[in-house]
Amino acid sequence: MKFLDIGEVSAQSGFRPSALRYYEEAGLISSVSRHGLRRQFPPEVLLQLKLIAMGKLAGFSLEEIAGMFGRNGTPDLPRAGLHQKANEMDRQIRELTALRDTLRHVAECPAPSHIECPTFKRLLEVAGQRSAVRKNITGKQR
Amino acid sequence: MKFLDIGEVSAQSGFRPSALRYYEEAGLISSVSRHGLRRQFPPEVLLQLKLIAMGKLAGFSLEEIAGMFGRNGTPDLPRAGLHQKANEMDRQIRELTALRDTLRHVAECPAPSHIECPTFKRLLEVAGQRSAVRKNITGKQR
DNA sequence: CTGCCACTTCAAGCCGACTTGAGGTCAAGC
DNA sequence: GCTTGACCTCAAGTCGGCTTGAAGTGGCAG
């Protein structure tokens, strides 16, 4: 079996060795053995790292990512938990879309005051939903 | 004119006073005057804060958010810059969608090995695009 | 006039996510 | 057998984004 040195994993994943060690420490990935001192990573780690990269891009903390895909790379969470995460992401996608549309809008709209503009108001609605949700999230903000 | 004390802004926006001071310091919002020592915020600040909240949720740094919507609340960037941001967000939305679908998939898929599964492969494609992009972002990671 | 209490400033602290640096190990090639 | 270079550990540092705490101020209700 060909295992990977940290350097190869780094080269193929784009994460720095220091980050990979940090992730291992944090339990997001794991090396299977040592060759001398050197960690030996199984090839699957590359897949895991792709998932981690996506999770990060999606704005999840390492802890949350670890919660989604256990150290085995595929999730060990109860289905309900995964569905809940997915639902949260739906909300986030809607928000992101609204913000994107808002950016496009203000880039184009020649209206003197955006506050009058229907597109801007649509944004406000979405933001409004958000502030309701925010209450739930507040504990996290603390 | 009724201006708002920081406490009212806090209550209505969900941001803590300390965060609001921090944002003012950072140039994201601004108070118009003082009543004694107390900052007086114009009501528009609530709109700005909604935009800030969305931007944060979208994973932008405060600096980036400040770049999108100048301290006046509506953007003062060149149109091209806004469009570019919007395009970046498109990419991010696609990724987020892929991750969400992946979560839903693994929650349902009874396949013994996900690596065999077409849905999982679709994810890998998106992640693949990502790693190309990652090169550009790498400077930031440094 | 006196509290009170919501505000103020400023410095320091904290958390997440890494990076950096010093000093050490060790398998492989010459 | 020796060197080399990629790895190792561990502690400390960095950066963004706030929070916390101490000490002070000042408008307004009683």
In this prediction, residue B129 carries a pLDDT of 52
Structure tokens that stand for A13 in this block: 């994943």
| Phi, psi for residue A105 in degrees, rounded to 5 | -60, -50
CA distances from B65 to A68, A89, B123 (A): 29, 21, 29
DSSP string covering B57-125: HTT--HHHHHHHS-TTSS--S-HHHHHHHHHHHHHHHHHHHHHHHHHHHHHH---S-GGG-HHHHHHHH
A73 or B104: which leads in pLDDT: B104
Task: Say what the pTM is.
Answer: 0.82
Kindly report which listed range (A63-72, A127-136, B125-134) carries the lowest average pLDDT score: A127-136
Minimal CA separation from A122 to chain B, in Å: 12
For residue A128, the model assigns a pLDDT of 56
The CATH class for the domain spanning A6-68 reads mainly alpha
Confidence band of B114 (pLDDT split at 50, 70, 90) = low
Instruction: Calculate how close chain A gets to B93, using CA atoms only, in Å.
Output: 6
The answer to whether strand C lies under 7 Å from the CB of residue B141 is yes
Strand partners of residue A40 = A33
Closest residue (CA to C1') to nucleotide C27 in the complex: A36
pLDDT of residue A95: 84
Per-residue pLDDT for B136 more than 70?
no
> Which of A82-96, A109-123, B60-74, B94-108 comes out lowest in average pLDDT?
A109-123
Is-contact A109 A117, C-beta < 8 A? Answer: yes
Nucleotides of D under 7 A from a protein CB: 6-9, 16-20, 24-27
Query: pLDDT tens digit string along A2-43?
Result: 899 999 999 999 999 999 999 999 999 999 999 999 999 999
B131–A14 C-beta distance less than 8 A: yes
Closest listed residue to residue A85, CA positions, set A93, A71, A49:
A93
Q: How far apart are CA B109 and CA B125, in angstroms?
A: 19
Q: Is the pLDDT of residue B61 over 60?
A: yes
Task: Tell me the one-letter amino acid at B98.
Answer: A
Is the pLDDT reported for residue A115 higher than 70?
no
Chain A residue at shortest CA distance from B13: A131
Q: CB of residue B2 closer than 7 A to nucleic acid strand C?
A: no
Whole-number percent of chain B with pLDDT over 70: 76
Strand partners, B38: B35
The predicted pLDDT at position A3 comes to: 96
The model's confidence at residue B41, banded by pLDDT at 50, 70 and 90, is very high
Token code pair at residue A36 = 């001398």
Confidence of residue B134 (pLDDT cuts 50, 70, 90): very low
pLDDT tens string A42-100: 999 998 999 899 888 888 899 989 888 765 555 556 777 788 888 888 888 988 898 88
Q: Which of A55-69, A80-94, B40-54, B65-79 has the highest mean pLDDT?
A: B40-54
In degrees and rounded to multiples of 5, residue B30 shows phi and psi of -150, 145
- pLDDT over 90 for what percent of chain B? 35
Question: What would the mean pLDDT of B57-61 be, rounded to a whole number?
Answer: 85
> Which stretch of A107-111, A129-133, B68-72, B97-101 has the lowest confidence by average pLDDT?
A129-133
- What number of helices (H) and strands (E) belong to chain A? 6, 2
